[in-house]
Amino acid sequence: MYKIIKLSFLSIFIAIFSAAAFCSGVNYSVRSKISLAGTQGWDYLTDDPAAARLYVSRGDHVVVIDTAKDSVIGEITGTTGVHGIAVADEFNTGFTSNGKSNTVTIFDLKTLKVKGEVKAGENPDAIIYDGFSKKVFTFNGKSKDSTVIDAGTGKVLGTKYPSAENLSMPARTARVRFMSISKTLPKWPRLTRYV
């Protein structure tokens, strides 16, 4: 018994020492400062390393920063209540979730020109592009559902509520390893869970 306790303490000590040694080698510093005009706050930041751009949502517009030059290169306007930005580089298309207007703005990544706007659920907030399915998903706060958009065409494929089957396992015991997207809508994406 004493040997097991001694080995346990030794293992914990090694783990703590290793973590401290690893963390002590990380030095963060301010590389540069970029001033953004206006009084609006910000919500989500989206990094696009392929294009060396950072998208910053600012209430009613998105500020676009060139991260290679550390300078503002443009804005995407008409995005009332913008929360998040999703980037689909392979389609040269970006998407913003506009919470106050219940819409998604679709824009050209190179020119930052608006290509169109589609309806989403109520108060679209988080937004992601899934490169596997080639779809954009908004997660709508007020209507508590998700809108699915074809990233290539910009067409809304559906808005769907999650089923109880997918949400039944307690979060503290479930680990979601991956999500496989059903090819047929309007079924909700199936979650594969491991406990």
pLDDT score for 190: 44
For 52, left (φ over 0), alpha (ψ -120 to 50), or beta? Answer: left
| Token representation of residue 87 | 């980037």
pLDDT digits (tens, 9 = 90+) for 39-95: 788 889 999 999 999 999 998 999 999 999 999 999 999 999 999 999 999 999 999
Integer Cα distance of 112 and 76 in angstroms: 6
pLDDT band at 156 (very low <50, low <70, confident <90, very high): very high
The answer to whether residue 8 scores a pLDDT higher than 60 is no
Domain spans in the chain, listed from the N-terminal domain onward: 45-159, 162-195
Integer Cα distance of 42 and 81 in angstroms: 10
- Stated as kind and residue range, the H or E segment containing 75 is strand 71-88
- Strands 156-160 and 175-180 come out as unpaired
Among 8-17, 149-158, 183-192, the minimum mean pLDDT is found in: 183-192
Question: Phi and psi at residue 8, in whole multiples of 5°?
Answer: -65, -45
pLDDT digits (tens, 9 = 90+) for 106-143: 999 999 999 999 999 999 999 999 999 999 999 999 99
Domain 45-159, what fold?
A: Methylamine Dehydrogenase; Chain H (2.130.10)
pLDDT score for 41: 83
pLDDT score for 167: 45
Alpha helices in the chain (DSSP H): 2-24, 164-167
> What angle (nearest 5°) sits at the alpha carbon of residue 55, between those of residues 188 and 152?
45
pLDDT score for 1: 54
Integer Cα distance of 156 and 139 in angstroms: 14
pLDDT score for 166: 46
Integer Cα distance of 193 and 117 in angstroms: 35
